[in-house]
Structure 1
């Protein structure tokens, strides 16, 4: 198994990948780091976990839109980020409530 090093928010991670896929994984890592930086600039310091959650949801939303043939617009992206932030807050509140119940 080959490995590719990617950097995300200044931290380097070694990722296992198929032989010959190292450069592709590095490029994907660069794209992910760029997307995380964009979202971080839009929403501020919300912690790495929430930031990665919102980034993942944003990417999945974009993928879903692409599959359905819907183009993304900046105002749609901004609204999606607001919705994802609200969802993340609800997930955190639920997790906190579950932790306190135990």
Structure 2
């Protein structure tokens, strides 16, 4: 198992991932960090867990909107949507681990 070193809100994390996916995870983490900062700017300091929860919900809302606006999407679009759902689940799990101190 490979590891990707990422930063979220100034904190460093080492995330296990499939070999060869390190760069992709790092790119996604930068996008996530930017999104978290954007949401934090809008809602203020509400705590790490709630901030990450709101971010995950915002991402899932966007995914749901995209799905609804593209009925009959191609197989590749469905795969991309599924990947976003899995990423959102991983983000939520990461938020829970961060809160529990693991």
The TM-score with structure 1 as length reference comes to 0.67
1:73 alignment partner in structure 2: none
> Offset at 1:59?
0.3
d(CA) in 1 for partners of 2:9 and 2:60? 20
For residues 33-44 of structure 1, the aligned pairs below 5 Å read: 33-44=33-44
For residues 20-99 of structure 1, the aligned pairs below 5 Å read: 20-69=20-69
Answer with 1 or 2: which has the greater Rg: 1
Q: Structure 1, unaligned stretches of length 5 or more?
A: 71-102
Paired residues in the alignment total: 70
Higher relative contact order (CA 8 A, sep 6+): 2
The TM-score with structure 2 as length reference comes to 0.67
Task: Write out the 4+ residue segments of structure 1 that deviate beyond 6 Å after TM superposition.
Answer: none
d(CA) in 1 for partners of 2:24 and 2:39? 23
1:100 alignment partner in structure 2: none
d(CA) in 2 for partners of 1:41 and 1:68? 28
RMSD: 1.0
* 1:49-85 alpha-carbon deviations (Å, 9 max, x no partner): 0000000000000011111117xxxxxxxxxxxxxxx
